Amino acid sequence: MTSTQAAEPAGERAGEQAAESAGNRRRGPSMADVAREAGVSGQTVSRVANGRHNVDPETRERVTAAMRRLGYRPNSAARALRSGRFHSIGVIMFTLSSFGNMRTLDAIAAAATDAGYTINLIPVPNPTRGDVSVAFDRLSEEAVDGVVIIVEAHLLDERDIELPAGLPVVVVDSNAGDRFPVVDTDQAHGARLATEHLLDLGHATVHHVAGPDRSYSAVHRREAWEATLRERGAPVPDALVGDWSSESGHRIGLRLAADPSVTAVFAANDQMALGVLRAMHESGRPVPAEVSVVGFDDMEESGNYWPPLTTVRQFFGEVGRRSVEALLHEVESGVAHGTTLVSTELIVRDSTAAPTAPRAAASVTG
């Protein structure tokens, strides 16, 4: 198929072979080469490459043929230089640890690709001010038209961390609402759903395994949990703070399991819920017979935990899509969106049930 591959363009290349293999890299044919090959001007090639309509069909055909023959690819650096647009969006995120972030990134990447944009991933190894600053510094040297920041974002409030001026930004999972457009899951709604579900089941109150304080989503979930309890006149136990890991969930779960008054637990994510589940098993407190557990996220695996976990589903895909949408809107129009909230849904599985006869380990009734 490939055969001789164009062979003779001009005198031009003699011992190209050797040079090409090593040092000479990445200098493919340019528009000028295509133009020569097709017998037209460079500008015409440009027009064809950009799908302009004012080109004679026959000429267009000749040019595309030449492109194919030469294996021409537009040079994005030159394009960007000329146009000042990079067709790329940066994504700043903490090491991709968390399930939710990853799903969001996935959706962002898909949406950006659809829109003809490229993703420039800028990892932040540690959520320290220094590392975040470095990431931001990098930004302006990088070639991006806008940025999505997925960082538990109290750091954005620091006065001395500064984004390059004039660079469109959208923030995910943060407040920062006044400084930047925000796209986020409706944390409060989700937490309310979970808490009410347990209350409706007849539990006297709901204990909460919270995420770390520095995370806004953790704080929002916690606040909504507390507000819901108050509204319903239920006592508000102290929230126990974990770090999102199932390990921390397990540690906290052990403490909860030791307290016989605990019958309902709402964990701020599925991983911590998993740890709680394990703690309950180890402590001989059957779920859901004695203790009900609800998570948050709806990871793929949640339905296969033991028992299958009742949880709040987040639509990460939607969050990602909306982020890109908002960002590109800003990039193209210069006008920033406001805040966008994506709702949640309660997925009821087998880890929740009505409490048994209060505080007595009687046999399961009917």
Partner DNA sequence: ATCGAGCATGTTCACGTCAACATGCAGTGC
Partner DNA sequence: GCACTGCATGTTGACGTGAACATGCTCGAT
**Which two structure tokens, joined as six digits, stand for 23?**
């040092």
Q: Which of 19, 20, 24, 43 binds DNA (CB under 7 A)?
A: 43
Mark residues 225-264: x for contact with a second copy by CB under 8 A, - for none: --------------------xxx-xx--------------
Which DSSP category does 26 fall into? T
Choose the contact partner of 325 out of DNA, a second copy, none; CB within 5 to 8 A by kind: none
With CB under 8 A as the rule, give the number of residues binding a second copy. Answer: 76
Task: For helices 246-258 and 270-282, give the axis angle rounded to 10 degrees.
Answer: 40
**Which of the ranges 44-52, 228-236, 303-311, 338-346 carries the binding residues for DNA, by CB under 7 A?**
44-52
Choose the contact partner of 227 out of a second copy, DNA, none; CB within 5 to 8 A by kind: none
With CB under 7 A as the rule, give the number of residues binding DNA. Answer: 28
In terms of CB distance, is 93 or 193 closer to a second copy?
A: 93
**Which two structure tokens, joined as six digits, stand for 76?**
């994005």
Q: Shortest distance, CB of residue 233 to a second copy, whole angstroms?
A: 34
In terms of CB distance, is 67 or 156 closer to a second copy?
A: 67
In terms of CB distance, is 31 or 273 closer to DNA?
A: 31
Which DSSP category does 64 fall into? H
Q: Shortest distance, CB of residue 257 to a second copy, whole angstroms?
A: 13
Choose the contact partner of 49 out of a second copy, DNA, none; CB within 5 to 8 A by kind: DNA
**Which of the ranges 51-59, 190-198, 324-332, 357-365 carries the binding residues for DNA, by CB under 7 A?**
51-59
Amino acid identity of residue 291, one-letter, is: V
In terms of CB distance, is 59 or 245 closer to DNA?
A: 59
Minimal CA–CA distance to 274: which of 232, 305, 318, 237? Answer: 305
**Which two structure tokens, joined as six digits, stand for 184?**
């986020």
Mark residues 285-324: x for contact with a second copy by CB under 8 A, - for none: ---------------xx-xxxx-x----------------
Q: Shortest distance, CB of residue 123 to a second copy, whole angstroms?
A: 4
What would the DSSP string read from start to end of 206-233? -EEEE--TT-HHHHHHHHHHHHHHHHTT
Where in 150-189 is the site for a second copy (CB under 8 A)?
Answer: 164-167
Phi and psi for 279 in degrees, rounded to 5? -60, -40
d(CA 207, CA 273): 12
Q: Which helix (H) or strand (E) covers residue 104, if one does?
A: helix 99-114
Phi and psi for 297 in degrees, rounded to 5? 130, -50
What would the DSSP string read from start to end of 127-164? -SHHHHHHHHHHHHHS--SEEEEES-GGGGG-TT--PP
In terms of CB distance, is 75 or 245 closer to DNA?
A: 75
176: left (phi over 0), alpha (psi -120 to 50) or beta: left
Q: Which of 32, 39, 41, 106 binds a second copy (CB under 8 A)?
A: 106
Minimal CA–CA distance to 115: which of 145, 137, 93? Answer: 145
Q: Shortest distance, CB of residue 66 to DNA, whole angstroms?
A: 12
d(CA 280, CA 293): 10
Rg, the chain, Cα only: 28
In terms of CB distance, is 52 or 232 closer to DNA?
A: 52
Q: Shortest distance, CB of residue 320 to a second copy, whole angstroms?
A: 11
Where in 71-100 is the site for DNA (CB under 7 A)?
Answer: 74-75, 78-79, 81-83
Phi and psi for 169 in degrees, rounded to 5? -140, 140
**Which of the ranges 52-60, 105-113, 117-125, 323-331 carries the binding residues for DNA, by CB under 7 A?**
52-60
Q: With H, G, I as helix, E, B as strand and everything else as coil, classify residue 341.
A: strand
In terms of CB distance, is 40 or 209 closer to DNA?
A: 40
Interface with DNA, residue 50, by CB under 7 A: yes
- Using CB under 7 A as the criterion, which residues of the chain lie in contact with DNA when the complex forms? 27, 30-32, 39-44, 46-47, 49-50, 53-56, 58-60, 74-75, 78-79, 81-83
